[in-house]
């Protein structure tokens, strides 16, 4: 529970004098700030940036496989030769797929 150190302090005599009704009223007041929000309605109102890419063209420079690279025969990704784990019958397999 958070403590407000700037609030005036009350001694033990004052703490014992709080009635049950006062304590209930404080608890209800503290909880009244809670708002029910439907998450689906909130999610529909969001518009993601760049979501409409219909007019965009993808321009990526594709480089051919270099002499020090190989294509894994399991995951089909291009890796550096240092990632080569096994070569069986001409099939090269990377360290991640072994």
CA–CA separation, 84 and 55 (whole Å): 41
Task: Pick the closest to residue 82 from 96, 69, 64 (CA basis).
Answer: 69
pLDDT of 16 reads: 57
Indicate whether 36 belongs to any domain: yes
pTM (2 decimals)?
Answer: 0.41
The residue ranking higher by pLDDT, 94 or 42, is 94
| Residue 21, domain extent | 12-45
Domain count, the chain: 1
- pLDDT score, position 32: 54
Higher-scoring residue by pLDDT: 7, 95: 95
**Average pLDDT in the 54-82 region?**
91
First to last CA, the chain: 52
* pLDDT band of 29, cuts 50, 70, 90: low
Question: Dihedral (C-alpha) 91, 92, 95, 98: value to the nearest 10 degrees?
Answer: 0
Residue 3 domain-assigned (yes or no): no
For range 30-56, the mean pLDDT: 68
């Amino acid at each position: 529970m958070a403590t407000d150190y700037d609030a005036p302090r009350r001694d033990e005599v004052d703490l014992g004098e709080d009635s049950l009704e006062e304590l209930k009223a404080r608890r209800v007041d503290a909880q009244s700030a809670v708002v029910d929000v439907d998450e689906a309605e909130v999610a529909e109102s969001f518009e993601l940036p760049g979501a409409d890419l219909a007019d965009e063209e993808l321009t990526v420079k594709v480089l051919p496989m270099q002499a020090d690279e190989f294509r894994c025969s399991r995951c089909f990704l291009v890796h550096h030769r240092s990632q080569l784990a096994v070569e069986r019958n001409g099939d090269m397999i990377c360290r991640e797929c072994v």
